[in-house]
Amino acid sequence: MSKKPIRVAVTGAAGNIGYALLFRIASGEMLGKDQPVILQLLEIPVEGPQKALKGVAMELEDCAFPLLQDMVLTGDPNEAFKDANWCLLVGSKPRGPGMERADLLKDNGKIFIAQGKAIDAVAADDARVAVVGNPCNTNVMIAAAQAKRLPSDRFTAMVRLDENRGRAQLAKKAGVSINDVSDLYIYGNHSPTMFADFTHAKIGGKAAADVIGDEAWLKNDYLPTVGKRGAAIIEARGLSSAASAANALIDHVRDLTIPGTVHSVAVKSEGRYGFNPDVWAGMPVKTTANGFEVIESFEMDDFAKSKIALTNDELVGERETIKDLLA
Ligand code: NAD
Ligand code: LMR
């Protein structure tokens, strides 16, 4: 095996998303079929989760994955993130039925202070961070606020599940293959306020709005269906989405490693598309050799601007709620 292994730290590794994620990373679906990996798995340092983590590691061993060079199992963030090239922050409490995302803000936020500090202190110089644990746009801001060494563009949060959901719903409505739907990007928060920008989406290379031919459906059915899909899954399954979330994280990381790929990522807005400069908002990015550049060229109409303003307000409100965690 000639390539140097990539160290992938995963938090909440014994949880539901972890169980749907780790085997796919180890089989090469995230970083390539010729790329060896070392998994550095973090769980809370208490008996139950640590025991469950051992069980997951036993199963990983039993898969005899040729690319899986080593595993670290730990309850210590400084060990989990040591020299890590990718830090996948999944571990945190999910919503249960009837819960609002705001209920998670303070509880989960605290986790990301300690993890942001540890990443900045011990992760590799090229470390990149992808936050999944909710509310992910705000948790990534908390983690990034701890960084003194790593620049803020290394910290991203996941809105790729929303992009995938949005493409699937357009394909279903138009009665076409998912492969015919392109240019659908997610703006703003991973929450019901997100804006799945159907105004620039394409179906079979034509404007999606023309192909669908039903503006009222796009505005009044499509957007809420995509925005509230997480809650609908929780209602149906009694549990938060896990396999589709893990799949989206594989997409998020893989596409951030393939130059030229354009996809939705929550990044520090720096004022783009009218977002508050300090919030992490979903927007289209193009992967480059060393990172990404935001695509800033989409012209938004008044409807799109009003949707972006709403999701921006929510992000600013979340930031305000946890401002004591940013110090
Ligand atoms: P889960 O409860 O099954 O697993 C979470 C795991 O994290 C548990 O094993 C728990 O012990 C562990 N954990 C908690 N605090 C930790 C800490 N400080 N360090 C390390 N591990 C810790 O939950 P899940 O279904 O895997 O979901 C995980 C998170 O992902 C939730 O916050 C959920 O809301 C979020 N999520 C986000 C998206 C998205 O699109 N961004 C989609 C689905 C789920
Ligand atoms: C999802 O989108 O499925 C998750 O973020 C779960 C949630 O809380 O909505």
Q: Distance from the CA of 175 to the center of ligand 2, in angstroms?
A: 26
Q: Is 241 in the pocket of ligand 2 (CB under 6 A)?
A: yes
> Which ligand 2 atom is nearest residue 240's CA?
6
**Residues 230 and 242 sit within 8 Å (Cβ to Cβ):** no
Identify which of 189, 223, 33 has the alpha carbon closest to the alpha carbon of residue 101.
189
DSSP alpha helix (H) spans, the chain: 16-26, 47-62, 77-80, 105-122, 136-145, 160-174, 208-212, 215-217, 223-227, 229-237, 243-255, 302-321
pTM of the complete model: 0.97
CB 321 within 8 A of CB 102: yes
Q: What's the CA gap between 170 and 41, in Å, rounded?
A: 37
State the burial class of residue 27 (Cβ atoms within 10 Å of its Cβ: 0-12, 13-18, 19+).
middle
The string of pLDDT tens digits covering residues 51-66 is 999 999 999 999 999 9
User: For residue 297, what are its two tokens?
Assistant: 């060229």
Could you tell me the distance, in angstroms and rounded to a whole number, from the CA of residue 91 to the centre of ligand 1?
4
Q: Which amino acid is at 51?
A: K
Helix (H) or strand (E) holding 8: strand 6-11
Confirm or deny that 132 is annotated as ligand binding.
Answer: yes
Mutate to test the pocket of ligand 1, among 47, 51, 90, 160 (most ligand atoms within 8 A of CB): 90
pLDDT single digits (tens) 259-298: 999 999 999 999 999 999 999 999 999 999 999 999 999 9
Instruction: Answer yes or no: is 165 a known binding residue.
Output: yes
**pLDDT (mean) for 176-184:** 98
Cβ-contact 63, 26 below 8 angstroms:
yes
Is the pLDDT at 100 greater than 80, yes or no?
Answer: no
CA distances from 29 to 67, 115, 254 (A): 11, 26, 8
Which residue lies with its CA nearest to atom 41 of ligand 1?
A: 132
Residues whose CB is less than 8 angstroms from the CB of residue 178 and which lie 6 or more positions away in sequence, other chains included: 167, 168, 171
Q: Which residues contact 98 (CB under 8 A, 6 or more apart)?
A: none
Measuring from atom 5 of ligand 2, which residue has the nearest CA?
Answer: 230
Is 115 annotated as ligand-binding? Answer: yes
Mean pLDDT (whole number) for 193-202: 98
Question: Each residue of 106-161: pLDDT tens digit?
Answer: 788 889 999 999 999 999 999 999 999 999 999 999 999 999 999 999 999 999 99
Name the residue with the closest Cα to ligand 2, atom 1. Answer: 230
Q: Give yes or no for residue 314 having a pLDDT over 80.
A: yes
Only one residue has tokens 């600013």, namely: 316
Point out the ligand nearest to the CA of residue 132. Answer: 1
Which residues, 6+ apart, have CB-to-CB distance to 292 below 8 Å?
153, 256, 265, 267, 285, 286
Per-residue model confidence (pLDDT) at position 1:
54
Residue nearest to atom 7 of ligand 2 (CA): 230
